[in-house]
Amino acid sequence: MLSEIADGVLVHQSEFVRSNAVVVRGPDGVLLVDPGVTGAELGCLADDLHALGQPVVAGFSTHPDWDHLLWHARLGEAPRYGTARCASAVREQLPDAAARDRVAEHLAETEIAGQVPMDLLGLITGLPAGTTHVPWDGPRVRVVEHQAHAPGHAALVIEERGVLVAGDMLSDVLVPMLDLDGSDPVEDYLAALRLLEEVAGDAGVVVPGHGSVGGAGEVRARIALDRAYVHALRDGREPGDPRLGPSAEPGWEWVESIHSGQARRLAERDRTTRGGDTTAS
């Protein structure tokens, strides 16, 4: 079901980890960002758009994780975009049907096993490097590219509507998830938060990839919370984050395992950098 969060901007939330698809209305149709997740939910989204008399004229994937690369035949054949780095990562991760089969196998152990359409997974076109706005005939949508969480990750600012679409950042239920395969995952994340802070003044609403939509004043509060978490990871401290431990929302206790895994891998990286795992002595 679509819910309007700003003038001409609507959100469809999946039951699976509260994944948010964003719809931006234009004069001839809509821009659809990160649609998901199950076939039934994508069909419901197509029904809602049909009821509004709004065809999809463009799509956008904020980053190359499978759940942000989905599509459904009933959404049509509009061009689907991502940043150049995002599209490159998709080509590396999903080069053929066998790779898509591996994603399906990964989902076999989840509650949505067999429910996610894979035929149109990841069919996105990379925008030229340095592109500042999504190419479509609708409200100006600024592309804020960074390297936090995943290669070529992009937040979107719907400038005329005051909405920040954050991708997999600024969630009220998920802690920051760093790209631990990057060269400097901590600094990449902090740099991305600085970029989001620069555009926060233009946004009265924030839509995370997963979790609740935040209203006025919450953009900067979520940036501050994410920054405090990343600082704690960097310094090897317990973060005292409300999304972890006893204060975590019921049903989201598993986020603790994301945190512990990140802390362990960052500590291992630090030991490697310092030579702590060598026999050089």
Q: Give the tens place of pLDDT for each residue, 120-162.
A: 999 999 999 999 999 999 999 999 999 999 999 999 999 999 9
**Which letter does DSSP use for residue 213 in this model?**
P
Taking only the tens place, the pLDDT of each residue in 236-257 is 999 999 999 999 999 999 999 9
Which single residue is written with the structure tokens 């995370």?
208
Which pTM does this prediction carry?
Answer: 0.94
Q: What pLDDT is recorded for position 279?
A: 39
Q: For residue 99, what pLDDT is reported?
A: 86
- Can you give the pLDDT at residue 278? 43
Domain boundaries, the chain: 2-273
- CATH, domain range 2-273: 3.60.15.30
User: Residue 277 above 60 pLDDT?
Assistant: no
Helices first, then strands: H and E counts in the chain = 6, 11
pLDDT on residue 276: 52
| DSSP type of residue 144 | E
pLDDT of residue 56: 98
Query: How many whole angstroms separate alpha carbon 252 and alpha carbon 235?
Result: 25
Residue 14 φ/ψ region, left for φ over 0, alpha for ψ in the -120 to 50 degree band, beta for the rest: beta
Q: Find residue 4's DSSP bridge partners.
A: 10
Q: Locate the DSSP E strands across 99-245.
A: 125-126, 141-146, 153-158, 163-167, 205-208
Cα 32 from Cα 34, distance rounded (Å) = 7
What residues pair up with 2 in beta bridges, in sequence order?
Answer: 12
In three-state secondary structure terms, 28 is: coil
Predicted confidence (pLDDT) per residue in 30-42, tens digit? 999 999 999 999 9
CA distance 61 to 81: 6
> Which two structure tokens, joined as six digits, stand for 134?
């999504």
Q: Is the separation of the CB atoms in 239 and 269 below 8 Å? A: no
How far is the C-alpha of 146 from the C-alpha of 188, rounded, in Å? 8
CA distance 68 to 89: 13
pLDDT per residue as tens digits for the range 196-233: 999 988 899 999 999 999 997 899 999 999 999 999 99
